Structure 1
């Protein structure tokens, strides 16, 4: 009888011990999760690299971005390999190239028939984050869904509702498709249905910063899971057009300056119709009047967005999260703003392709660092996931490379080039292809008549890309040409077969 009682007591102690061990394990898991770094990924739309004050190019005021850069690392060769909204976002979220993720061009109702949208079955950035224990949030412009055309409506529909089951694990959602209404924005919030929009009478950048500050501070403990690290993506629409939708207080610093004082790049041509680029369907020609009218507004929007980013960074600090939060500032593409007689983006010139890339992580990245590492949109997903330590579930079929060791330890083999793309809707083998190395840009264009043109620029000796070097250095041209063909082969680009077939018949 005594033996039985002892056995029962011993068993009870063992069960209690197991319970304690289980609780300790659970507490350790929670502790580990909270020690995992947070991510704040901010990508203002249409922000070119030259428009960051610390780069000493455009005459623009960005004190908060400048300070962030001094506290971390600037990567000067961040390249938007397809400098257009939806293709960049598709590459960012999937780590795959456009002809592998179906987002061949900008999403709108004309492309619905091509299913030019973020694919539900593509394991994406946010899917992996959530699988690894992150609370994932998305705020601002998405532009990854092509809506169905509306009966009886001939005009193109750009904005689109993205159903919850197609948001790839994002549990906090304060977003819209592609509505450029900066002063009176609207959003689909979390579980809202398609007809349940939240309208706001405030500049979108300011309102979204308020939402993010609330998300970070989490006062009610129900905005996000406080026992999880967070990964927050913020796509603020300004400085994307319409340029005039910007609070007057930001315009003050620029409105009295002349065009010559603002448009200081040596390739600005406001009188040209850029007819030499008429073959390129992506080039925005005959619109340089917008540069004359709105360059001061463009820079004002940049300054305004900078102020809102500063408010968000202050909230991180007040919450005690700044040291263990990876903050990244970049953009989906730049803005030509009159350079080469063009506006907008979607072309191989630096004003469109070269985007900001600032990364701050006090625990791992020393301040005041500068790097000329080449980094492309498809590299961002594997690089950041590995940086965070969230390796479980990363797809093996990504087109991008993990560059985390190069950024954190300056160890590893650097990419020698980044691809350039222009693709027509529904036609994966169409358009132009090129590469951007640290020193040169090399592009082969094929127009709708299969006429081939070659562009080659020395970006060191000729930083404004004023001289096409084609035919002037045969040896270099051959090297760059072979590098491009090798990359096209590696990435299984359907354009390559078209190009080789055309040249075979010549």
Structure 2
């Protein structure tokens, strides 16, 4: 029996509630909504370590953060562990990667040469380490060390590359596995085609109940605009699968590496245990195998992606993998859900964050997280979906706190996590960092190229404003 193709599409910093079909935020995602009707959508999908590089390393390796050792951004992923691409290559798959990588060194513009640092994505490479200037996009193509600069909005060009790859796959012997990583809706939010910004007048933005009254609605509107833009890109991908006769033979996943607080609880970005940070979209389709139009509260997390996909296609799961094979859950058995998901942030840079390292667990109903010396948050997500009432120090919830702490201790023991301080973790896994942080940069060629293109972009924006 022919093995299915895999198309794994993920956004950057897109929270799980920011889907039209979620019915929570006023964001337009018609293509993802239509896709969800043909798929299973998980509403308790979690980013185990909610920051870019650690989350991405978990997706590829099936390992938790202290095991894959990418404890913060801009750390090169270990090359002595088997990635999902390595495993699929052994099964005859052609593995390609397009878009943001962010699993290499502090030079965010570095050329990652063919070989171990590409983690088995050897069939096709149109990627860059890290860049969020969406009108100064570029990528390195296969073995060429010279960057290819993109004209226009980056995700549209990346989507076109993915479409070309999918069409060309029909002429290859084996199935393909393509990872497509878009930069949006990660900030800067406003760098998106005007037609999408026009869809979201800031004065019409309805804030989430847990957002601060002084939230910048322009930022939220632009965040939604980015999501609608990549939704259009996703629609093009799905139409290509249909037109090429590949829909029924392809497992498609849409997800994100982590979420975005975006003024909820008066916070920004990610790094935190609140739902806006850790809860991510996760929609998976395989016609005739994975139930369609299904919404599941089964627990699934990014560290489970690798073993689950390998199991679905009948590939061997490496013994060292820590994520769970949740293929039974994905195929429709909600009783196969795990009891809890481990979440953590082991390296908390003092330069960026006002709180220390933390660990926690999420169940179908509760969110629990604590620092080394005290509890931080405890929420009943079923009765308090916006996490407005922190139960952490209320005496009547002492038994619940004990239950959640016991669950956390099970995870710490299982993962051999001694809950060390940021200084201790950074000393082991982040050499050269100071207070858990290392300066990132771009090499001269990339820095100059981005600056020139962003100057042109800003000039064109000013010119349009002056003519309107």
Q: TM-score scaled to structure 2, two decimals?
A: 0.85
Question: Which residue matches 1:462?
Answer: 384
CA offsets per residue over residues 440-471 of structure 1, 9 Å max, x none?
Answer: 1111113xxxx534321111111111121023
1:74 aligns with one of 41, 55, 59: 41
Question: Which residue matches 1:416?
Answer: 339
CA offsets per residue over residues 308-356 of structure 1, 9 Å max, x none?
Answer: 1100110110000001101111100111111011111110110111100
Question: Which residue matches 2:359?
Answer: 433
Give the CA deviation at 1:486: 1.1
Question: Which residue matches 1:248?
Answer: 194
Following TM superposition, the consecutive aligned residue runs of length 4 or more in structure 1 with deviations greater than 6 angstroms are none
TM-aligned CA distance change 1:131 to 1:426, over 3 Å = farther
TM-aligned CA distance change 1:411 to 1:334, over 3 Å = closer
Cα distance in 2 for partners of 1:52, 1:309 equals 13
Larger mean Cα displacement after TM superposition, 83-92 or 402-411: 402-411
Give the CA deviation at 1:494: 2.6
- What SS does structure 2 have at the residue aligned with 1:442? strand
Within 5 Å, which residues of 2 pair with 1:152-301? Answer: 157-165=107-115, 166-170=117-121, 171-193=123-145, 196-218=146-168, 226-255=172-201, 257-258=202-203, 261-271=204-214, 291-301=216-226
For the aligned residue pairs, the C-alpha RMSD in angstroms reads 1.9
Cα distance in 2 for partners of 1:158, 1:263 equals 36
1:363 aligns with one of 263, 269, 288: 288
Within 5 Å, which residues of 2 pair with 1:60-99? Answer: 60-99=27-66
| Gap runs ≥5 in structure 1 | 1-31, 108-115, 148-156, 272-287, 499-506
Cα distance in 1 for partners of 2:42, 2:109 equals 32
Cα distance in 2 for partners of 1:411, 1:354 equals 19
Cα distance in 2 for partners of 1:54, 1:137 equals 30
Cα distance in 2 for partners of 1:411, 1:140 equals 33
Question: Which residue matches 2:101?
Answer: 142
Cα distance in 2 for partners of 1:270, 1:199 equals 40
TM-aligned CA distance change 1:343 to 1:299, over 3 Å = same
2:370 aligns with one of 441, 444, 466: 444
User: How many matched pairs?
Assistant: 413
Tell me if the contact between 2:300 and 2:337 (Cα under 8 Å) persists in the aligned partners: no
Cα distance in 2 for partners of 1:303, 1:100 equals 36
TM-aligned CA distance change 1:382 to 1:352, over 3 Å = same
CA offsets per residue over residues 74-95 of structure 1, 9 Å max, x none?
Answer: 1111001111100100101111
Question: Which residue matches 1:327?
Answer: 252
- What SS does structure 1 have at the residue aligned with 2:236? helix
Cα distance in 2 for partners of 1:437, 1:97 equals 18
| Gap runs ≥5 in structure 2 | 351-355, 423-468
- Structure ID, larger Rg: 1
Give the CA deviation at 1:496: 7.0
Tell me if the contact between 1:135 and 1:224 (Cα under 8 Å) persists in the aligned partners: no
Cα distance in 1 for partners of 2:398, 2:334 equals 34
Question: Which residue matches 2:307?
Answer: 382
Cα distance in 2 for partners of 1:86, 1:224 equals 32
1:477 aligns with one of 378, 401, 407: 401
- What SS does structure 1 have at the residue aligned with 2:8? strand
Give the CA deviation at 1:412: 5.8
